[in-house]
Amino acid sequence: MIKFGFKIKTRGGTVVDKLTIAARDRIEAERKVAQIYHHCEFLDCYEVQPSVNEDSLDLERAINLINRESDPGPPAKD
């Protein structure tokens, strides 16, 4: 899934910025937004790029959790 960012104008005239929707493509993302905000006007649409640091941090955290679960801990002292 790709994340798309939108800036829209609602039918009441309110501008909503930084609205993020995950979808397979832009058409599907626009359809999802239109289902939530009926009769909205699309002012801007852009593809949201994932942050490299966020992804690597999440992967690093997952690896650390797996290592902690599989590590029996320090050996007991006699």
Distance separating alpha carbons of residues 45 and 26, to the nearest angstrom: 8
Question: Quick check: 7 and 19 in contact, CB under 8 A?
Answer: yes
State whether residue 32 is helix, strand or coil.
helix
Per residue in 3-61, pLDDT (tens digit) is 999 999 999 999 999 999 999 999 999 999 999 999 999 999 999 987 655 555 566 77
State whether residue 62 is helix, strand or coil.
helix
Among 18-22, 58-62, 63-67, 70-74, the range scoring the smallest mean pLDDT is 70-74
Its pTM stands at: 0.62
Question: Quick check: 29 and 42 in contact, CB under 8 A?
Answer: no
Name the residue among 9, 7, 2 with its Cα closest to residue 27: 2
